[in-house]
Amino acid sequence: MVGLVPPEEEKRIFDRLIEYYSQLYPGVRFSKAEKTLTHKDIGGILYTYCGEETEATAAEKMRLINSAIGEGYSTPIIVLRKKSGLILLDGHRRARVAFSQGMGWPALVISPGKEVKFGIEDMVLGRIKDLYGK
């Protein structure tokens, strides 16, 4: 499935994010988990700015993901668990496709051992259901 993030690459990104956060926030222990999120869970995810991209490019990527789902594509998204909810770190298009299809999706979850203000929180645009709901 050319052009899609393979599961092993997403796990490498996940491990690098935990290393990065551990360096940024010394003294905070981070746990990791794998979980399948429900459609409702995905709708409640806090969607972050995913970088510069045209809507045409995003739409093409989402079409590719949508067609690959039928072939078993399910690379997890990466989220950060906070008291305020799950914050999307990686897998923006996968999360949008899963939500639009009314389905659940696997996730790799990073949880800090104590409450910390993360810079990514300043990049939250809203909940997926509010931004991309039908």
Residues 120-134 pLDDT 10s: 999 999 999 999 986
The secondary structure of 10-79 as a DSSP string is HHHHHHHHHHHHHHHSTT--EEEEEEEEPHHHHHHSEEE---S--HHHHHHHHHHHHHHHTTT--PPEEE
Alpha carbons 95 and 112: distance in angstroms, whole number: 22
Q: Residue range 13-30: average pLDDT?
A: 96
Burial class (CB in 10 A: 0-12, 13-18, 19+), 112: middle
Output the pLDDT for position 37: 98
Output the pLDDT for position 106: 98
H/E element, 130: helix 128-132
- The CATH topology of domain 7-132 is 3.90.1530
Q: What is the mean pLDDT of the chain?
A: 93
* CA nearest neighbour of 128 among 60, 55, 40: 40
Residue type, 17: L
Greatest Cα pair distance, the chain, in angstroms, is: 43
Output the pLDDT for position 2: 61
